[in-house]
């Protein structure tokens, strides 16, 4: 039961920004059907990882080694910020997990993963299942 609830929590975190205007760098976002409203721009801290694995914090380059500290500094000034992970869909799962881990260690209370709406009916990666 706890596994199911944890899965649902992660799923909705991943899908929470599908229909929103992005504040981060332009990357090729993964697609997701479920979406939640995006927080206002003044309540967001955007961590972007491009296809090459370069990191940006609100469009400013940041080193991997400095990500946790940079996020922590901004959260200390404004603890209610929602940290949005804006990761290219071609990055490995492990890379995205490293980013999320650094954000969590920095003390983020709220984190979302940016996605975009699928084209077509969006049932599967290439449309409806069974095609």
- CA 114 to CA 32: how far, in whole Å? 9
- CA 11 to CA 32: how far, in whole Å? 10
- Mean pLDDT across the stretch 25-47? 67
Q: Which of 71, 39, 43, 42 is nearest to 55 (CA)?
A: 71
Residue 67 has pLDDT above 90, yes or no: yes
**Tokens read off for 74:** 């901004």
Residue 47 has pLDDT above 90, yes or no: yes
Q: Where are the domains of the chain?
A: 2-113
Residues β-bridged to residue 57: 47, 60
- CA 21 to CA 29: how far, in whole Å? 12
Q: Which helix (H) or strand (E) holds 64?
A: none
Looking at residue 39, what is its pLDDT? 62
CA distances from 77 to 4, 58, 72, 107, 130 (A): 35, 15, 9, 12, 50
Stretch among 69-73, 90-94, 115-119 having the lowest mean pLDDT: 115-119
- CA 79 to CA 39: how far, in whole Å? 14
CATH T-level assignment (fold) for domain 2-113: Nucleotidyltransferase; domain 5 (3.30.420)
Model confidence band, residue 20 (pLDDT cutoffs 50, 70, 90): very low
């Amino acid at each position: 039961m706890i596994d199911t609830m944890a899965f649902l929590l992660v799923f909705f975190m991943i899908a929470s920004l599908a229909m929103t205007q992005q504040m981060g760098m332009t990357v090729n976002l993964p697609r997701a059907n479920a979406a939640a409203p995006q927080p206002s721009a003044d309540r967001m801290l955007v961590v972007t990882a491009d296809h090459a694995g370069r990191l940006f914090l609100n469009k400013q380059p940041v080193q991997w080694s400095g990500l946790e500290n940079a996020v922590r500094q901004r959260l200390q000034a404004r603890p209610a910020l929602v940290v949005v992970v804006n990761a290219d869909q071609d990055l490995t799962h492990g890379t995205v997990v490293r980013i999320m881990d650094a954000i969590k260690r920095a003390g983020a209370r709220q984190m979302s993963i940016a996605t975009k709406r699928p084209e077509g009916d969006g049932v599967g990666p290439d449309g409806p299942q069974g095609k």
